[in-house]
Structure 1
Amino acid sequence: AIECLKDFLPKVSLITPNIPEAELLINEKINVDNMKAMAQKIGEQFQVSVLLKGGHVDNDSFIMTDVFYVHETKTVKIITNPRVNTTNIHGTGCSLSSSIAAYLSLGFSMDEAIIKGCNYVNQAIAAGKDKILGHGNGPINHFGL
């Protein structure tokens, strides 16, 4: 399945892997120090822009850092938001990619859509950080914004 996905990636404009997903794509470990280089490596290997999501990076920072590699211009952009202390993070990846697609459909540029999408998801995480719904990791709160 991973090989089929790798064959498909050059046909899309943007991929939004989290750290474990990105590590599967390139067979390398990713950490806070090499995120920029790894986003660029993925982008060049698969000929696609990459939003490498930093939520799985082990660090003690109060800042959440995502790395956006723009394949067309070969540039790297850093997107930061406050890190929210919560386990209610179920649905963040799907919500992020969907919000980016929604902002693109509204006519925003890729850069603007990604920044707006990252900010939206961060706000939804913060809005749902104390909610209790079922057992385990709860969902983010899209409606508490």
Structure 2
Amino acid sequence: MDSKYIPTLTIAGSDSCGGAGIQADIKTMSALGCYACSVVTAVTAQDTLRVHQVMDVPVAMVVSQLHAVLNDISPVAIKTGMIGNAEIAAAVAVELETAPRVPLVVDPVMVATSGDPLMRAGTLYIVTGRLLPLATIVTPNIPEAEAMADMKIVSDDDVWTAAARILAFGCKAVLIKGGHAEGTTKTDRLLTADGTRHEYCSATINTPNTHGTGCTLSSAITAFLARGCRLDEAVGKAKEYLEKALDAGKEVAVGHGHGAVDHFFNPEKLIIKR
């Protein structure tokens, strides 16, 4: 019998403490039954308290990694995470523009959970102008959506307005995450290019271990798209996976700051068999 893995690709930065970035992406994709490949855009020295140092990978090396994976393994879904400078963003866009089109999840990582910046000036312009037109879905949190849409978000109506503005960059769908909102519930809102709206509500989980939640959610969406789910279904299943990972890891102590979720809590029942 000819057996095959379900290959996925994450293009993002490395997190030395293992809770976010490439490490969280690989854990998530693996937990959800995919074979995770990676292109490292930056190396960070960070712990659960803060980012101590960031070193961008040379553009030529980023491109070489992309060629190696795309030409040999042919991932069936791709996500981008931390892209720290405009040169890397432009190079990634060029490679993805000419690669076979597969679902692309763009997570516009701008700031770490600790509050340290991860995207330098000029990068967002390339991300919105070059990567978003290729994207199946873009997954900003509220501060990221405010930056992309050039507006403040203070109400539910503002969320939909911001999502529409981001759609104008050419992506097929926008998921604005509600994790930064106060209250007993968190609501993520999905707007697709045809105007369809979806809301995904969940109870707020009281935990300090929120490091890498955005990376985890976008990677889970990528994994479920790779497994053949519809976009709205992939988002719903990814959110369910993240909720369970947050709950399973809510009392686990890792480091002295924002710890990570439990990526391997046993997500088998969430997986759709191919």
Q: What TM-score results when the alignment is normalised by the length of structure 2?
A: 0.50
**Residue from 230, 250, 259 that aligns with 1:109:** 230
Secondary structure in 1 aligned to 2:229? Answer: coil
Corresponding position of 1:97: 218
Deviation at 1:28, TM superposition (A): 0.9
Taking the TM superposition and a 5 Å limit, the aligned residue runs for 1:64-143 are: 64-71=186-193, 73-143=194-264
- Greater fraction helix: 1
Deviation at 1:36, TM superposition (A): 2.2
CA distance in structure 2 between the aligned counterparts of 1:32 and 1:85, rounded to whole angstroms: 23
Question: Size of the alignment, in residue pairs?
Answer: 141
* Matching of residue 38 in structure 1 with residue 162 in structure 2: yes
CA distance in structure 2 between the aligned counterparts of 1:47 and 1:81, rounded to whole angstroms: 29
Deviation at 1:42, TM superposition (A): 1.6
Identity fraction in percent: 39
Two-structure CA RMSD over aligned residues (Å): 1.2
Secondary structure in 1 aligned to 2:253? Answer: coil
CA distance in structure 2 between the aligned counterparts of 1:47 and 1:126, rounded to whole angstroms: 35
Deviation at 1:35, TM superposition (A): 1.6
Corresponding position of 1:6: 128
Corresponding position of 2:175: 51
Secondary structure in 2 aligned to 1:51? Answer: strand
Q: Deviation string for 1:22-54 (max 9, x for gaps)?
A: 1111221113432222222222x2122101001
Secondary structure in 2 aligned to 1:46? Answer: coil
CA distance in structure 2 between the aligned counterparts of 1:28 and 1:22, rounded to whole angstroms: 8
Give 5+ residue unaligned stretches, structure 1.
none
